[in-house]
Structure 1
Amino acid sequence: MGERKLWSGEPVGGNPFALPRGPLGVAAGWVLARANRRQQAEILEALAPGHYRSVLEVGCGPGVLLDLLASAPGVEEVAGVDPSRQMVSMARRRNAAALRAGRLRVHPGSAGATGEPDAAFDLVVTVNTVAMWPSLDDSLAELYRVLRPGGRAAVSWHGASSRFALTDEEDARVLAALRRRFGAAERRELGSAVLFEARR
């Protein structure tokens, strides 16, 4: 992220991990698939996705969590969106069987514009994307829009032990923005991540 001021409305710029593009973006996708696997497994356990029929992952990257979600018992529909066309392609290749079976679909989209219909999902999850959203409030409004009444929003970021961890002020801003949009929200520390949760 460099010196970029969070949630300033600025684009993410040339960081290959923020918006993977071209050959360097493909390499970044392989790194992300390895580096985030432990955190994604923790998120999956914390969310107990079998309680949700339809799930959207925002910023699905190379599709590791999509694979776990599409394989979870009780989950009937999984969708993934990512602003990087390279990541959409990688996620589709990783999850080719689920795509063919009609259990999964993946397409370009962002936290601020998922391209999904209103009130379509029981669970919306995003891992390690919140600090790269140009607008915190606009993106949370989009997550709220695509959730069904009673649906759950789960926003995860690197934990306190990571060099990418949010500052205390940034952490508080995420929680406050969720509470403004959803009315109530909670924050949990997991082994390698922080998880912010709210229900519509």
Structure 2
Amino acid sequence: MAASIPPAWTTGTAPNSFAALPAGRLGTLGGQLMRLLNRAQQREIAQLLGPLDELDVLEIGHGPGVLLGMLARTARHVVGVDPSREMRALAIRAHANAIAAGRLDVRPGDAGATGLPDSAVDVVVGVNNVAIWPDLDAGVGELHRVLRPGGRLVLSWHGGERSSRLTRGLVLPEDRLQRIEDALRARFPEVRRTQTRRCTVFEARTSPAGPPVPPG
């Protein structure tokens, strides 16, 4: 099965089926473990995003759905996409009420193929998955496509000011971090890299909408 999974751009090897691209019973167990271990990082990103009132949000690689629940509390509508059937099942089970109320959709997809139309959302967020995308540039291009004018992209990875003992081995070297920043700058006019306590965060914005053109 692993042979059919595209390799990550950072390593050249296929993501594992336990926590990177969870599959099968082992993947379900990995997702349940991620629900506990990554919660603090997801809270930091939710705080960084701030209020999402009247905004449509896309989360890519949502895993078991912890951040999806945080987003759905304030956003107008949230779409979650994840290539893992097991992670989608965990997220759907956790947020059945929000899905039934029409505030949340969970769908198959990934950063390179979200399945959304052009200019569909105001915010895109991805936590702990940018380093395992198969094609960084294709992913950045797709997320730029689905964002509206003035839209915001937030991507985070393990690191930050005080990474935990468990995640220190996952911290990306500077050349990989710079590669992410360069890919964003090739598409977005506004890009910055910051750190929370546990996360290295890349934020980018699309160009704002121009003034209406007067009738000729």
**Is TM more than 0.5 here?**
yes
Equivalent residue for 2:64, pick from 37, 62, 65 = 62
- Superposition deviation, residue 126 in structure 1: 0.1
Number of the residue aligned with 1:30: 32
Larger of the two Rg values belongs to structure: 2
Equivalent residue for 1:39, pick from 18, 32, 41 = 41
Contact 2:27 2:86 (8 Å CA) reproduced: yes
Write the deviation string for residues 107-134 of structure 1: whole angstroms up to 9, x where unpaired: 1101100111110100000000000001
Which amino acid counterpart does residue 30 of structure 1 have in structure 2?
Q
Number of the residue aligned with 1:115: 115
Partner Cα distance (1:112, 1:178) in 2: 14
Number of the residue aligned with 1:163: 169
- Which consecutive unaligned segments of at least 5 residues does structure 1 have? none
- Which consecutive unaligned segments of at least 5 residues does structure 2 have? 1-5, 207-216
Which amino acid counterpart does residue 65 of structure 1 have in structure 2?
L
Number of the residue aligned with 1:188: 194
Contact 1:9 1:135 (8 Å CA) reproduced: no
Partner Cα distance (2:31, 2:54) in 1: 27
Contact 1:57 1:124 (8 Å CA) reproduced: yes
Which amino acid counterpart does residue 18 of structure 1 have in structure 2?
A
Contact 1:9 1:134 (8 Å CA) reproduced: no
How large is the Cα RMSD of the aligned pairs?
1.8
Write the deviation string for residues 10-48 of structure 1: whole angstroms up to 9, x where unpaired: 573444211111100100010111111000000000111
Contact 1:52 1:123 (8 Å CA) reproduced: no
State how 1:36-185 maps to structure 2 within 5 Å: 36-51=38-53, 53-72=55-74, 75-160=75-160, 161=163, 162-185=168-191
Under a length normalisation based on structure 1, what TM-score does the superposition of the two structures give? 0.92
Contact 1:154 1:198 (8 Å CA) reproduced: yes
Contact 1:52 1:122 (8 Å CA) reproduced: no
Contact 2:8 2:14 (8 Å CA) reproduced: no
* Secondary structure, counterpart of 2:186 in structure 1: helix
- Superposition deviation, residue 5 in structure 1: 7.7
- Superposition deviation, residue 98 in structure 1: 0.1
Which amino acid counterpart does residue 35 of structure 2 have in structure 1?
A
Partner Cα distance (1:131, 1:186) in 2: 17
Partner Cα distance (2:114, 2:51) in 1: 20
